[in-house]
Amino acid sequence: MTDTTALERGIGAAPSRARRRRFQWRDPWGHPRGLALVTWIYILWSIVPVLLAIRFAFNSGRSRSAAQGWSLRWFWKDPNLSVFHDPTLSSALQQSLTLAFFAMLIATPLGVALALGLQRWRGPGSGTANVLTLLPLVTPELVFAVGLFLLFTTAFKVIGLGTTAQVIGHVTFSMSFVVVIVRGRLATIGGDLEEAAADLGAPPWDVVRRILVPLLLPAIAASLLIVFALSIDDFVVSQYLASGADTTTVPMRIYAQARAAPTPALNALATIMLTVTLLALGLAYLVFRLMTRGEGGGSAIGQLAGIEAGIDAGGSK
């Protein structure tokens, strides 16, 4: 007893554990171990299922839940059931890539133009338009898809369901992301540079060519890749606007087959998709960093935050 009290007074060589813990809790300069722990638990919780799914893509056996050795059978070795040889899987992959490619090429220029327009438009209505442009970011995708479905089956029957409708759908929802990214960049560029160029004698077209486009390039590159990633991930819009087997995308295929006769080939397909998406996002990030190097910290960081916000919002879609 005497011992403990001495320790509690802090006279002893080592304070009691209770005392130390209390001290840590009160120590605002200490390492935030509790927060770190929670963070790591969350990271494990979100990543482990993905890692497991990837692991079974490399299974030698047919099981998607029991480890049965390692192989590349489900990617291309298996002559009938692999992603490469199963026509339903490879056509889904092809459809997904086609949609992503066109969505990327159409949504980016449109989104850049829209961002420029919104940036410059002052006056009645501009505030409302600003908010409405960003609405697709928060609209439940299901509502959005149902709306588009009605549109293409009634008012725009000429287009009808199918690949074109799917591309239009993807372009529609991904344009908001382009607008967010490009406007962030425009805000950091500011209006002064364009005025300065005009002041030095550059006619309007030269201002665009020599100042605006070079400075927007990082945002344009990032937009291309993010639209690609958004499109290739999409399930709901693709599903609603599909017209049959040849317009089935990878997420649709995986969903359908998971209910019927799943093989590790589905995991292999998902693994391919994940890799492609991660590559696209990683590339977007790198390109942006490289192209905005030497511009002075603040702007580049602000921009990256914008892109990351875009990626985050995309992930929650």
Partner 1 sequence: MSAGKGDIKLDGLVKRYGEVVAVNGIDLDVPGGEFFTMLGPSGCGKTTTLRLIAGFERPDEGEILLDGVDMSRTPPHRRNVNTVFQSYALFPHKTVEENVGFGLRYQKVSKADAARRVGEAMELVRLGGLGHRKPGQLSGGQQQRVALARALVLEPPVLLLDEPLGALDARLRIDLQVELKRIQETLEVTFIYVTHDQDEALTMSDRVAVMRNGNIEQCGPPQELYEEPSTAFVANFLGASNLVPVQAAADGAGGAQLTLGNFTLVAAECAGDLRGDALAMIRPERVRLEPHGTTGENRMPGMVEEVVYLGFHQDVRVRLATGALIRVDVPNDGDAIEYEQGNAVSVHLPPRYLRVLETDEPAPTDQPDAAPAEVS
- Per CB under 8 A, residues contacting partner 1 are 190, 192-193, 195-204, 210-211, 214-215, 294-296, 299
Sign of CA dihedral 206, 211, 214, 218: negative
- Residue 195 CB, nearest approach to partner 1 (Å): 5
Nearer to partner 1, 3 or 192 (CB): 192
Of 302, 304, 276, the closest CA to residue 289 belongs to 304
Q: How far is it, in rounded angstroms, from Cα 262 to Cα 74?
A: 12
Nearer to partner 1, 197 or 242 (CB): 197
Query: Does residue 74 contact residue 56 with C-beta atoms inside 8 Å?
Result: no
Q: How far is it, in rounded angstroms, from Cα 227 to Cα 232?
A: 9
Nearer to partner 1, 49 or 296 (CB): 296
Nearer to partner 1, 141 or 194 (CB): 194
Tokens representing 195 are 């005025």
149's CB contacts (< 8 A; 6+ apart) are 161, 240, 241
Query: Does residue 238 contact residue 166 with C-beta atoms inside 8 Å?
Result: yes
Q: What is the DSSP letter of 137?
A: G
Of 257, 309, 301, 315, the closest CA to residue 83 belongs to 257
- Residue 124 CB, nearest approach to partner 1 (Å): 11
Run of H or E including 100: helix 87-120
What pairs with residue 59 in β-bridges?
A: 70
Nearer to partner 1, 215 or 229 (CB): 215
Q: How many CB atoms lie within 10 A of CB 182?
A: 25
- Residue 185 CB, nearest approach to partner 1 (Å): 12
Nearer to partner 1, 110 or 202 (CB): 202
- Residue 205 CB, nearest approach to partner 1 (Å): 11
Nearer to partner 1, 109 or 203 (CB): 203
Look-up: residue for tokens 């390492």?
31
Decide: helix, strand or coil at residue 108. Answer: helix
- Residue 119 CB, nearest approach to partner 1 (Å): 16
- Residue 298 CB, nearest approach to partner 1 (Å): 10
- Residue 196 CB, nearest approach to partner 1 (Å): 4
Q: What is the DSSP letter of 246?
A: G
